[in-house]
Amino acid sequence: MKKISAALLLVILLSYNTKSSAQTTQSEREGEFYFSWGYNTEWYTKSDVHISQPSLGNDYTFNNVDGHDHKGWDEGLFSKALTIPQYNYRIGYFFNKKRGLGVEINFDHTKYIITDGQQINVTGTMGGNPVNTTVNFSDANGYHYYLNNGANFLLFNFVKRWHWFGKTNKNFKVDVLAKAGIGPVIPHVDNSFAGQQNNPKFQLGGWNTGVEGDIRVTFYKHFFLEYGNKLDYASYSNLKVYQGTAKQNFGTYEMILNLGVTFPMGKKI
């Protein structure tokens, strides 16, 4: 009888330990940290650039200006520093992994250049006199306008993730993400108007807001490839020009491809 009781007790203990071990194995962390890096390309809306130079008697606007990006990565990605082409990074944390809720720092090093050689209508005041004329906006004519070291969108995003395909605890899965946020722009301004060159430099230059939709493919639980489409609206103000300032608003459509890593964090659930 004692032998039977001892054997039964041993079976119960082994069963309890097996269940505990299975529960521990199946438990997950409530949070998830991720970081990604990649490159982008942009298309910009037409916009107006307003120039104010009070000491020169200038207060005029370049109307319906065309601008373009400068990818850089299409000129030999591995032949230059990784931060020279139009790059982007994301640093994020899902604080509620079960519901797919998170926050993110979202930075895009985008480049904006007023297209050289275009004929632009200019209205306002130059040298204290009214003006309504057309300017050949080109380096050869003393004009350029570069945010070529960056139009630089920084957003603080809220993130929502939906699981789409594959097992969440297996080596392959596909998720859909939606992001929305607001933040400052940090442009590098380099310009010349009628041959009057500014002192090129970085500055805080306004704000931007954006929405983004992504498809994320995760491999071996910790590595992912993310393709995104983004709409951004940026309002630039107090941009430094020769003895004055400029302001400009434009919209951006952006395509992004990132490679990232992700790790579970936080307490077990």
Among the listed residues 92, 224, 218, the one whose alpha carbon sits nearest the alpha carbon of residue 158:
92
What are 32-83's pLDDT values in tens digits? 999 999 999 999 999 999 999 999 999 999 999 999 999 988 787 777 788 8
Least confident of 20-34, 95-109, 146-160: 20-34
Res. 13 pLDDT band, cuts 50 70 90: very low
pLDDT of residue 165: 87
Strand, coil or helix: what is 191? Answer: strand
Mean pLDDT, range 168-195, rounded to an integer = 93
- Would you state the torsion angle of the CA atoms of residues 128, 131, 136, 138, taken in this order, to the nearest 10 degrees? 30
What are 198-220's pLDDT values in tens digits? 999 999 999 999 999 999 999 98
Strand partners, 30: none
Q: Are 204 and 213 in contact (CB under 8 A)?
A: no
With residue 32 as reference, give the H or E element that holds it. Answer: strand 29-44
The rounded radius of gyration (Å) of the Cα atoms in the chain is 27
Res. 9 pLDDT band, cuts 50 70 90: very low
